[in-house]
Structure 1
Amino acid sequence: MDLPRTFTIRESEHRIHNPFDERKLADLGAALHLKPGMRMLDLASGSGEMLCSWARDHRLTGTGVDVSTAFTAKARARAAELDVAEQVSFVHGDASGYVSSEPVDVAACIGATWIGGGVAGTIELLRRSLRPGGLMLIGEPFWRKTPPDRETVTACHMGSRDDLFALPGLVAHFGRIGYDQVEMVLADQDSWDRYAAAQWLNTRRWLDQNPEDELAAQMRAELTAAPLQHILYQREYLGWGVFVLMAR
């Protein structure tokens, strides 16, 4: 049980596996008015930067769960680096079935709603771990602009236009399934660039070091296409944000 190697190659040096930078992640933590001793569950926690940095800055405790062995190891190392290893723990496992043994104050899934089969299913999964009145964090892409053709949809790594909401539709969807949206922080084109462009450097360095690897041809083709694809399509049409919800 693990992530595909292609993903871990692209994001091998990432601490944040989504289009947020450190400033936006800190802004989100500040917006939540986190208090010392609050407990958090982070499903698909990646390299643990959100949980570790918030444990340092806000003195919360919590658990992260992720399917990647490489990223789980990085998360544990980051916890030690920030001196929060006594406050947070990281589990290598399938987040799609993980429910906390005790209710948490904050339950999050940032950029991986596939674990619940989509937004609604992931919200239902998080709800099972969240105390009444707790905060739920959903990180999700949306259409910044309606894609005009199939080429744009494909270049944004979507199967169809219907795979994503536009921003108003996503917010309305939260309301329809019984949640108030009480905060949000959105990525911008610069933070998208930082996320995407760092993948290109990671990939190039991996290719230089592994020219005979079975994935080399695939990763070379991806690197050749990725910068222009990002500039023409992804940064123009894809939005992304973290939406903070409370059950009505």
Structure 2
Amino acid sequence: MDRARLSAIAHRWHPVAAPVSDDALARLVERAAPTGRGTALDLGCGSGAWLLAMLAARPGLSGVGVDTSGPALDAARDRAALAGMVGRAVFVQADAAGWRGEPADVVLCIGAAHAFGGTAGALEAARRHLRPGGRVLFGDGFWESGPSERALAGLGAEPGELPDLPGLLAEVGRCGFEPGYAHLSTTAEWDEYEWSWTGALTEWALTEAGAGEREEALGAARTHRRQWLEGYRRELGFLTAVLHDVA
């Protein structure tokens, strides 16, 4: 199966592609979004959950979401239509790292730092698109504990690939940003996200997939479940923060 299609199916039950609850998402977008009229840009928007939540919270905002995944963008456009946001929310299939567009009042980049080579690259890109005085809503992973050998194996990561939380915040500071409000994902949020990911994919495999895709999808769900439960559960953390540009 195409990886982008598999991921879009796996995120059906939890369209927020991060271990963040709906309540936490609402608080984060409320504190990051500008008041009045303005624009938002979501770099690596996936199926658009963050951008659409921000536009719902601020009727004066319009926004652009950029992602490489066609299936995720199709889902984002469907959600925008259901929410009555056609025209306010535009979704573009492109490489977020190379995107060139108008400056925005708020830039979102959540769980997509890998597309920019890491935290520093993602925040450098966010600044290029940010109007003076704007804010960035940024989300990235860190080691909550460890990492143990099994956690590294579960993620396919090297020991120094992710920082701990102080290290992640230090990198944010080196990039010229000051954290304001932030949210640390809980174990319950991680569990809900991972069970939704594997559960949605499993249900699709058993009820909708054709014969050629059923076993592939089930295999992907089983592998992901094992990597999470036997690997990085309770070791991998996730920070989502409202950042102020102080450079």
TM-score normalised per structure 2:
0.89
For residue 206 of structure 1, what is the aligned residue in structure 2? 204
CA contact (8 A) 2:143 2:236 kept: yes
Q: Deviations over 1:20-50 (max 9, x none)?
A: 1211110102223631312110011111111
For residue 32 of structure 1, what is the aligned residue in structure 2? 32
Quick one: percent identity of the two aligned structures?
A: 31
Residues 166/160 of structure 1: CA separation in 2 closer, same or farther (3 Å cut): same
SS state at 2:160 partner: helix
Residue 132 of structure 1 pairs with residue 132 of structure 2 = yes
SS state at 2:63 partner: strand
Q: Deviations over 1:52-102 (max 9, x none)?
A: 12212222211111111111111112112112223221112221211322x
- Unaligned 5+ runs, structure 1: none
Residues 99/243 of structure 1: CA separation in 2 closer, same or farther (3 Å cut): farther
Residue 61 of structure 1 pairs with residue 62 of structure 2 = yes
- Unaligned 5+ runs, structure 2: none
CA contact (8 A) 1:3 1:68 kept: no
Tell me the distance in 2 between the aligned counterparts of 1:36 and 1:227: 43
Which of 169, 172, 180 is the equivalent residue of 1:171? 169
Tell me the distance in 2 between the aligned counterparts of 1:18 and 1:136: 17
For residue 17 of structure 1, what is the aligned residue in structure 2? 17
For residue 146 of structure 1, what is the aligned residue in structure 2? 146
Residues 73/211 of structure 1: CA separation in 2 closer, same or farther (3 Å cut): closer
Which letter maps to 1:183?
Y
Residue 97 of structure 1 pairs with residue 98 of structure 2 = yes
State the superposition RMSD in angstroms: 2.0
Residues 6/227 of structure 1: CA separation in 2 closer, same or farther (3 Å cut): same
Which letter maps to 2:158?
S
Which of 231, 237, 244 is the equivalent residue of 1:246? 244
Residues 188/58 of structure 1: CA separation in 2 closer, same or farther (3 Å cut): same
Tell me the distance in 1 between the aligned counterparts of 2:245 and 2:3: 32
Tell me the distance in 2 between the aligned counterparts of 1:207 and 1:119: 35
| 1:232 shift after superposition | 4.1
Tell me the distance in 1 between the aligned counterparts of 2:5 and 2:166: 35
Task: Kindly indicate whether structure 1 or structure 2 has the higher relative contact order, using CA contacts under 8 Å at least 6 residues apart.
Answer: 2
Task: Give the stretch that moved more between structures: 220-229 or 25-34.
Answer: 220-229
For residue 217 of structure 2, what is the aligned residue in structure 1? 219
Which letter maps to 2:173?
G
Tell me the distance in 1 between the aligned counterparts of 2:196 and 2:9: 11
Tell me the distance in 2 between the aligned counterparts of 1:5 and 1:85: 23
TM-score normalised per structure 1:
0.89
